[in-house]
Amino acid sequence: MASTTGRRRSPRATPPTRGRTGPRGGDADTRADILAAARDSFSHKGYSGTTLRAVAQAAGVDVALIPYYFGSKENLFAASMELPVRPEQLIEAAFAEGAERAGPRLVEMFLDLWEDPTTGPSIRTLFRSATTHEESRRALSEFATAAILGRYAAHLSGPDARRRAALAASQLVGMAMLRYLIRIEPAASMPREQLVADLGPTVQRYLTGPLAAGPCDVGAAGPRVPDTGLSDTGLSDTGLSDTASPGSDSGPTGA
Rg of the chain's alpha carbons, rounded to an integer? Answer: 24
Residue 33 sits in which domain range? 27-72+228-233
Is there a domain that residue 195 lies in?
Answer: yes
Q: Would you say residue 63 lies in a domain?
A: yes
Same domain, 125 and 194: yes
Tell me what pLDDT residue 223 has.
40
pLDDT of the residue at 191:
96
Nearest CA among 162, 218, 174 for reference residue 199:
174
Q: Is residue 245 part of a domain?
A: no
* Predicted local distance difference test score (pLDDT) of residue 237: 38
The amino acid occupying position 102 is A
Closest CA to 229 of 50, 33, 64, 60: 50
User: In this predicted structure, what is the pLDDT of residue 242?
Assistant: 38
State residue 42's pLDDT score: 79
Total domain count, the chain = 2
We report the CATH number of the domain holding residue 169 as 1.10.357.10
pTM, 2 dp: 0.61
65 and 92 housed in the same domain: no
Euclidean distance between CA atoms 62 and 57, whole angstroms: 8
Q: What is the pLDDT of residue 104?
A: 96
Sign of the alpha-carbon dihedral angle for 119, 199, 165, 175? negative
Same domain flag for 186 and 124: yes
pLDDT at 218: 52
Is residue 105 a part of any domain in this protein? yes
Return d(Cα 86, Cα 72) in angstroms, integer: 11
CATH of the domain at 57: 1.10.10.60
Q: Are residues 91 and 204 in the same domain?
A: yes
Q: Do 51 and 122 belong to one domain?
A: no
Q: Residue-wise pLDDT tens for the chain (255 aa)?
A: 544 444 544 444 433 334 444 444 457 788 889 988 888 887 777 777 888 999 999 999 999 999 999 888 888 887 877 766 677 888 999 999 999 999 999 999 999 989 988 778 878 887 888 888 887 788 788 888 888 898 899 999 888 999 999 999 999 999 999 999 999 999 999 999 999 999 999 999 999 999 988 665 454 444 444 444 444 443 433 333 333 344 444 444 444
